[in-house]
């Protein structure tokens, strides 16, 4: 542990961060950075962790369920550079007395923007249209083919009405979309103006043209968008996912896209990413992104600073603003 009152806390940072974030880390901590962004395995992190008091890691680190129990006793806090924390077990951290923090709020807009990009890209054929131009196939276009699908004025169903779901709804309202949502509980009317709440996910599905997945990945939501759910969507519906890949069942989604029951899908997240089900690559009606939800300089910088704020609060003996574990 950093000597009380004197040495700065020692923080292991698993990935390259924005320059302003790295500068602050180096100024305020004894920070071990990863300037070459060399991917660290779980064993690398565990080995290096022994010389540190805290970890700043990301949802892209492949940690697995054995990670937290195997951490050395020096580690007192994990700040994850993500709002999602499904890569970390909060009960395991609590059992070890390790604090865990995340980065809510600062990536809401960037992620909601990507959800809209997915809706537009999937519906209007952004990936096949782009390919046609690059492959010099513009001449194949006619007045009746190829064609996408309308977004404006359609019905959007949002699964999970937290900050990001609400930000997606706000943007979709500008497209004249009717908003439906399913969440464990209805949100206050001012947080989802004009939106129709469905207490049962299954009741929302027949009433929408687009389904946007915006809930956290938890034991309750994993696999929730399965074959049964997809069958309840009207033929020609479009699915977009900016949350986590494991909420959607790949097998069911690929079958629905191949059969045409779903017209298209836009995916920024995948089960097992960056390895994805290879069948997605050969489907024409999917618009695929490599988990870009928070990938803007402003957002990534804000996420890094939020991690540092939490680390600093913790090492000052305060309750970190974004503490996930019981204090």
Footprint of ligand DGY (CB under 6 A): 59, 82-84, 107, 293-294
87 is annotated as an active-site residue? no
Ramachandran angles phi, psi of 79, nearest 5°: -105, 115
By beta-carbon proximity to ligand DGY, the closer residue of 9 and 293 is 293
Nearest-5° Cα angle at 226, 225 to 230? 80
By beta-carbon proximity to ligand DGY, the closer residue of 233 and 269 is 269
By beta-carbon proximity to ligand DGY, the closer residue of 119 and 213 is 213
By beta-carbon proximity to ligand DGY, the closer residue of 148 and 160 is 160
Return the SS3 of 13: strand
305 is annotated as an active-site residue? no
Distance from C-alpha of 48 to C-alpha of 71, rounded to nearest angstrom: 10
- Based on its alpha-carbon atoms, the radius of gyration of the chain, rounded to whole angstroms, reads 21
How many alpha carbons lie under 13 Å from residue 118 in its C-beta half-sphere?
32
Q: Which of 244, 249, 300, 305 is the catalytic position?
A: 244
Min CB(303)–ligand DGY separation in Å: 7
Distance from C-alpha of 121 to C-alpha of 127, rounded to nearest angstrom: 7
Min CB(162)–ligand DGY separation in Å: 12
Number of other residues whose CB lies within 10 A of the CB of residue 181: 25
Q: Of all helices (H) and strands (E), which one includes residue 202?
A: helix 201-204
Distance from C-alpha of 249 to C-alpha of 239, rounded to nearest angstrom: 12
171 is annotated as an active-site residue? no
Residues catalogued as catalytic: 244, 273, 291
């Amino acid at each position: 542990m950093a000597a009380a009152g004197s040495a700065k806390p020692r923080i292991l940072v698993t990935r390259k961060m924005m320059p302003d974030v790295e500068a602050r880390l180096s100024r305020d901590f004894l920070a071990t950075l990863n300037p070459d962004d060399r991917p660290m395995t779980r064993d690398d992190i565990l080995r290096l962790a022994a010389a540190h008091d805290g970890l700043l890691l990301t949802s892209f680190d492949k940690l697995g369920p054995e990670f937290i129990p195997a951490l050395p006793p020096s580690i007192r806090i994990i700040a994850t550079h993500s709002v999602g924390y499904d890569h970390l077990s909060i009960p395991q951290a609590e059992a070890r007395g390790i604090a865990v923090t995340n980065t809510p709020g600062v990536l809401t807009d960037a992620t909601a923007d990507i959800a809209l990009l997915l809706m537009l890209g999937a519906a209007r054929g952004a990936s096949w249209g782009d390919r046609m131009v690059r492959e010099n196939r513009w001449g194949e276009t006619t007045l009746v083919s190829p064609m996408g699908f309308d977004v404006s004025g359609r019905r959007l169903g949002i699964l999970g009405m937290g900050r990001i779901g609400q930000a997606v709804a706000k943007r979709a309202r500008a497209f004249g979309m009717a908003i439906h949502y399913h969440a464990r509980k209805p949100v206050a009317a001012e947080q989802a103006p004009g939106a129709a709440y469905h207490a049962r996910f299954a009741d929302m599905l027949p009433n929408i043209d687009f389904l946007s997945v915006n809930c956290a990945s938890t034991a309750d939501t994993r696999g929730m968008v399965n074959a049964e759910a997809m069958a309840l969507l009207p033929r020609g519906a479009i699915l977009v996912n900016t949350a986590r890949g494991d909420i959607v069942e790949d097998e069911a989604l690929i079958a629905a896209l191949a059969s045409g029951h779903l017209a298209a899908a836009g995916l920024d997240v995948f089960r097992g990413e960056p390895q994805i089900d290879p069948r997605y690559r050969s489907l024409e009606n999917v618009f695929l992104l490599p988990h870009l939800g928070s990938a803007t300089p402003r957002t990534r910088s804000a996420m890094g600073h939020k991690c540092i704020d939490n680390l600093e609060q913790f090492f000052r003996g305060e309750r970190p603003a974004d503490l996930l574990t019981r204090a």
